Structure 1
């Protein structure tokens, strides 16, 4: 769920897409803001993506953010409920809000009750509290770390579940090239890629944290790093980490 995806990007050519434009249902999806295309590249790009195209991934492009990266709570809730109807495996929410929004938690609960894993950015709050919906207990809150495993100074603290690379990572841009991105948004995309790969291997999502902790390398203080950095297997950490940092 984001600002749309530039599906003509060469690095996304092997991805299977489904889409819905929640903001303007009768118009094709474009990504003038560029955020959603970068998120898609980290999850499933051919060169920089976490998930291999050989895994028959379907990426659901749910446009809930406009050309300025803004979205109404009604559109976001409608986007979540559309995902529930499509029976997706993982919902990636690489944005958040400072305060709780009416109806948002109910929509999140509806998704998780269906066995959908929901990831969300801890927020670029400069060490302050984690944003919503990442703050909800049902949501996996993702903090951002750099290539040396240091916490991103902009990353939110508090209710953090896991950490992932999110400082100066390389991904697809909306102009058809590759650019550098930073923030918990992009760490969340990395985490989603790892989680989606695990879920695609027919794991039960009911006890997702218990499962993911087997794919986690402990780092430091839990309120900052959560359980640690997500990876497919501990021995693959260097390989997957370098893929994001190119």
Structure 2
């Protein structure tokens, strides 16, 4: 039986089976007789600022309180139809949403009727206006010629991402790289969702006249996207794999046909290590100083943690929080999504971008697709789309915007890109100051702004901290032996010398051919195969960290089950652990 590698920390997901009649912990059970028959009741999701007051408001309205939805500070309730409007205005109630499972699936979904579709997002952010322009060479501004590296769970060749001239597979550094049928494939679903938001584009789409809501278009639909796969079918990855991927991007940034100018990392750990010492922080800072604009998700800890995820804590990179459109096309009512990390007065997000209930491309058969069916868009007759929320999505949208700027002005430094995006962001008057950063992304304003003269001068990181502290509480583990990967060694079992590595990372020489930290991780050539351009793979024969070898085994999405590992439980309420920023894939948090 193949070993199953897991991230050992479960982050909250909203894939919750809604069942009426459960009691919300901490909310008094108030006896009440409904004033309406069951035929007149509607199931709703109540989000609260005061749980007690909201529960009392439901019972006073003749309704009943149901199952808690802790990820959104809310609960399910059934209330009389004629009391929904009054409930929305009741003290302690932040919002009331009709449950998406009740009576809504029959309606045909249209992208132009959904404020969180990419059809709407590219308009709200100003990307559509940018596409109508041309660069100094007369080429349409869609990110053409700009390489965006996506370090994630891979990219599947779904419609909109099956253009082999623009979508390139870098090395597969995940555990699945040892299985030819899984190599480069996104068995998880997160990477495909991010890729679509960054650079998806349906064939034949004319960006100058985008008016057909049946077309899918990401923020930079002409950009080159380089997928560097590090995560397996349940999102499992070790921080050493992510660092190796960042180093690979730096080493190969100027390769023919790549021109990597943007790096998207919708990833974060809960490391509390000083960002000047943390190896993951040093890796992104080194990429930044080599001319790569690094965009990272700020995290999805809401107000429960007083710091951003690592490496968003690094002050050089662009840390992005998630904005909530409130389901409207206007931006005047936008707020910071409740799950978006606020950070602290010393380091908070730099700006926000749309990040709640974003409709991206579905990856059929992936872990997310199979396990979170409520992420499917009700009424989508094509079956192509999947909805997700998180600072992951916000980071991806911002990465696409950065690619547009870099086509317009190729000589921009990462510091200048950051300044342009933050100085032109739209104000968010209804959002809390710490969580909104400079405001919400507006690429049209950034496009029209003059090139700033700016150089960031934060204290330089050293990267000499520990690899173990960089992992935080997220570890991959072998449930067969019960051994987690811990301490100062990478997934190959090689000893980690922070001083030696940090020096090479700073110089951009951490990779030597296909070798990183003394082990062969990948091949050295990029070729054209039957599925497009892909980096050569190598066999990790004999690799181990716990005294046993694991390479050469058969990896399959079917092997990821609901068992426990490392003393923690894989349940229906978790999906990947903290390492992938806790994105949510369920209608239970949609407006």
* Distance in 1, Cα, partners of 2:384 & 2:224: 22
The structure that has the greater radius of gyration is 2
Q: Note the 1:22-171 alignment, pairs <5 A.
A: 22-24=173-175, 25=177, 27=180, 28-46=183-201, 47-53=216-222, 57-87=223-253, 88-100=260-272, 102-127=278-303, 128=305, 129-148=307-326, 149-158=334-343, 159-171=348-360
* Distance in 2, Cα, partners of 1:122 & 1:70: 20
Name the SS of the counterpart of 2:352 in structure 1.
strand
Name the SS of the counterpart of 2:194 in structure 1.
helix
Which residue is 1:204 aligned to? 412
* Distance in 2, Cα, partners of 1:13 & 1:215: 33
Deviation at 1:209? 2.4
Q: Is the 8 A contact 1:5 1:36 kept in 2?
A: yes
Q: Note the 1:218-237 alignment, pairs <5 A.
A: 218-220=427-429, 221-234=432-445
Which residue is 2:393 aligned to? 186
* Distance in 2, Cα, partners of 1:229 & 1:137: 19
Name the SS of the counterpart of 1:217 in structure 2.
coil
* Distance in 2, Cα, partners of 1:122 & 1:209: 15
* Distance in 1, Cα, partners of 2:251 & 2:224: 15
What TM-score does the superposition give when structure 2 sets the normalisation length? 0.38
Name the SS of the counterpart of 2:234 in structure 1.
coil
Which residue is 2:166 aligned to? 16
* Distance in 1, Cα, partners of 2:422 & 2:231: 32
Which residue is 1:242 aligned to? none
Q: Is the 8 A contact 1:123 1:155 kept in 2?
A: yes
Q: Which aligned segments of 4 or more residues in structure 1 are displaced greater than 3 angstroms?
A: 24-27
Q: Which has the higher helix share?
A: 1
Name the SS of the counterpart of 1:61 in structure 2.
strand
Q: Name the Cα RMSD after superposition.
A: 2.0
* Distance in 2, Cα, partners of 1:106 & 1:232: 28
Name the SS of the counterpart of 2:321 in structure 1.
strand
Name the SS of the counterpart of 2:168 in structure 1.
strand
Q: Deviations over 1:214-245 (max 9, x none)?
A: 44212244421111111221499xxxxxxxxx
Q: Deviations over 1:194-231 (max 9, x none)?
A: 11111122141243322223442122444211111112
Deviation at 1:11? 1.4
Unaligned runs of 5+ in 1: 237-246
Change in 2 beyond 3 A, CA 1:105/1:213 = closer
What TM-score does the superposition give when structure 1 sets the normalisation length? 0.87
Name the SS of the counterpart of 1:132 in structure 2.
coil
Name the SS of the counterpart of 1:89 in structure 2.
strand
* Distance in 1, Cα, partners of 2:295 & 2:173: 20
Q: How many residues align?
A: 232
* Distance in 1, Cα, partners of 2:172 & 2:446: 40
Unaligned runs of 5+ in 2: 1-150, 202-215, 254-259, 327-333, 365-382, 448-591
Change in 2 beyond 3 A, CA 1:219/1:203 = farther
Q: Is the 8 A contact 2:267 2:296 kept in 1?
A: yes
Deviation at 1:13? 2.9
Which residue is 2:511 aligned to? none
Name the SS of the counterpart of 2:319 in structure 1.
strand
Name the SS of the counterpart of 1:216 in structure 2.
coil
Q: Is the 8 A contact 1:100 1:133 kept in 2?
A: no
* Distance in 2, Cα, partners of 1:36 & 1:235: 27
